[in-house]
Structure 1
Amino acid sequence: MRHSVFAGGKRLRPILCLEGGRLFKGDEKSLLRLGAALELIHTYSLIHDDLPALDNDDLRRGKPTCHKAFGEATAILAGDALLTLAFEIISAPSSSPQLRLQIVHELARAIGTRDGMVGGQVADLESESQGATASLVDYIHSAKTGAFLRAAVRSGAMEAGARGDDLARVSSYGEKIGLAFQIADDILDVTGTSAELGKSAGKDDQQHKATYPAIHGLEESRRIATRLVAEACDALAPYGERAGRLRQIARFLIERTH
């Protein structure tokens, strides 16, 4: 568990959680606990995603993947334990049990089987043998990656008490950057190197993955990602400079090199 959690990474999901909560003046300690739990969920998903039965990757964040370091059985159990620990942290008794339940429900849906991470992963696997369409790629990206990023910023805002229009604006922002992030990942898999990415480059093409460059080409994929980021920033217009960090994060997602 420590091997994978402390291997580095962008910590994007906890950062989105923190900034989503700070936008509405949330309690810093509560946001940090929630953000840490989100990183555990993300790490669980990476451990399982790297397994031979799925992406079969040897490198993650520039280090041997969990199953390469400790074996497949231990990697599966480490992922299971991280997911369980995350929900233990999120559901810990507090003065707001109803809010805890709402956040648990929010995250369970985001990583679940219908329009969440697991559902997106299943569709991704099926697309390798069945081929991909533009609508299928949109679904895979929105479910496999976008739903959890959206939930990260939403859960932070919820922790801080956001409701109604405020939560709707944050949700729109999260939905747009979630798709933009995965499009950028698709592009980097084509243009980046393994050393830059900290994981094996070019695997999407090797495994016949459903990706934006495969459907739309590189230049159109870049244009779509740029448009999504602009729309995400527009959703936060009512908050002015208060949302400056969230806008910076959105731009970083498509300008990054890893």
Structure 2
Amino acid sequence: MSEINWRYGAETIDNYLQTLLPAPKKKGERGLDRLTGAMRYAVFSDGKRTRPLLLLEAASCVHFARESKDNLFDLEMSLPAACSLELIHAYSLVHDDLPAMDNADTRRGQPSTHKKWGEAMAVLAGDALQTLAFEVAARIPDDDFWVSAEEPMRHLRVVRLIAEASGLQGMAGGQALDIDWTQDEKGRAKISGKQLAQLQSMKTGALLRVAAQCGAILGGGDEEQVEALRQYGEHLGRAFQIWDDVLDVEGDPEIMGKASSDADNLKMTYPGVFGMDESKRLARESSEAAHTSLQNFQTEADALRQLARFVIERQK
């Protein structure tokens, strides 16, 4: 990150998540202990923390674009919203792996949550993580945070945007399209490239887009800056998903920590619709578009530029 070290940011996020989901101290109520265990298993499973880190970096970027470089950025003011995105992401993966969805046995190199804790407990863990996410997102900062009359409305706007990105018009809606828009028995695509882009923009892109957008809002950005970061998140999310699809075909399962399942389930992927070469070109094009979205920012956006390159160079 530019002013915030990436590793420090990830550690700060993990520490905050630990306060939200502390390990059970005793085994008095087995059901609750098992639910907590399943929730912790889903959250603390070697995730990259991309979404919360993106929110924090976007907030930092806008803050330093508007303030003196000597005016330190208060990381903790944006932590609740950042961590709420990680909780939503974690719950979505738990549900995505269920037998009724992708029926995935592994996630990040270890048994998926329903394989470790049972299907019923995995469903409950996902439900509880989702509700915890909005409990956290709605937390009111200390009174010192309200430095202007605009701050409460910014906070409320962030909660609303996170809800929109998670629901019918976002991640959940995208998963519904993913279930219904399949290939035929010969593996031929039944949807167009435009439809695939819509599906992935909702299912995967929505949380990345809203992370950048909400970060800009919490960083005190004006509408032009908020829109620039929203567009950045849109393009970044597309590059991220296309490259994920590429790795599902060409990636090393040992490095990725999961076996390819999309091809087995005849799900829609960019290589399946466009072919591998065109998919890689589209990923590079989306990465470059993310760069272009930051053209009005200076060095404070360098980490975001690096992230746009990283998503199409990573191996997992």
- TM-score range (shorter-chain normalised) is over 0.9
Find 1:163's aligned residue among 214, 222, 230: 222
1:19-52 deviation line (CA, Å, top 9, x unaligned): 0000122531112232122111100000000000
Structure 1 residue aligned with 2:35 = none
Structure 1 residue aligned with 2:139 = 92
Q: Does 1:36 align with 2:83?
A: yes
Measure the CA separation in 1 of the matches of 2:78 and 2:279: 34
Structure 2 residue aligned with 1:205 = 263
Q: Quick check: which has more Rg, 1 or 2?
A: 2
Structure 2 residue aligned with 1:246 = 304
Contact residue 27 and residue 160 of structure 1 kept, 8 A = no
Q: How does 1:68-83 map to 2 (within 5 A)?
A: 68-83=115-130
Structure 1 residue aligned with 2:12 = none
% of aligned pairs identical? Answer: 44
> Structure 1 regions of 5+ residues with no counterpart?
none
Q: Does 1:128 align with 2:182?
A: yes
1:93 Cα deviation after fit: 2.4
1:139-181 deviation line (CA, Å, top 9, x unaligned): 1111101111000111111111112110111111111011111
Measure the CA separation in 1 of the matches of 2:288 and 2:86: 26
Runs of 4 or more consecutive aligned structure 1 residues displaced over 6 Å after TM superposition: none
TM-score norm. by structure 2 comes to: 0.78
Measure the CA separation in 2 of the matches of 1:245 and 1:72: 39
Contact residue 170 and residue 235 of structure 1 kept, 8 A = yes
1:202-222 deviation line (CA, Å, top 9, x unaligned): x21111111110111111100
Measure the CA separation in 1 of the matches of 2:80 and 2:162: 14
Q: Does 1:230 align with 2:288?
A: yes
Measure the CA separation in 2 of the matches of 1:156 and 1:164: 13
Q: Which has the larger helix fraction?
A: 1
**In the comparison of the two structures, how many residue pairs are matched?**
256
Once structures 1 and 2 are overlaid, which stretch shifts more, 89-98 or 191-200?
89-98
Q: Does 1:103 align with 2:103?
A: no
Contact residue 80 and residue 139 of structure 2 kept, 8 A = no
- Where 2:98 maps in the other structure, the secondary structure is coil
- Where 2:62 maps in the other structure, the secondary structure is coil
Contact residue 233 and residue 290 of structure 2 kept, 8 A = yes
Q: For 2:273, give the aligned amino acid.
A: I
- Where 2:136 maps in the other structure, the secondary structure is helix
Structure 1 residue aligned with 2:7 = none
Contact residue 118 and residue 144 of structure 1 kept, 8 A = yes
- Where 2:211 maps in the other structure, the secondary structure is helix
Find 2:103's aligned residue among 56, 78, 84: 56
Contact residue 180 and residue 226 of structure 1 kept, 8 A = yes
Q: CA RMSD in A?
A: 1.3
Measure the CA separation in 1 of the matches of 2:235 and 2:82: 20
Contact residue 183 and residue 268 of structure 2 kept, 8 A = no
Q: For 1:228, give the aligned amino acid.
A: S
> Structure 2 regions of 5+ residues with no counterpart?
1-38, 64-72, 185-189
Structure 1 residue aligned with 2:49 = 11
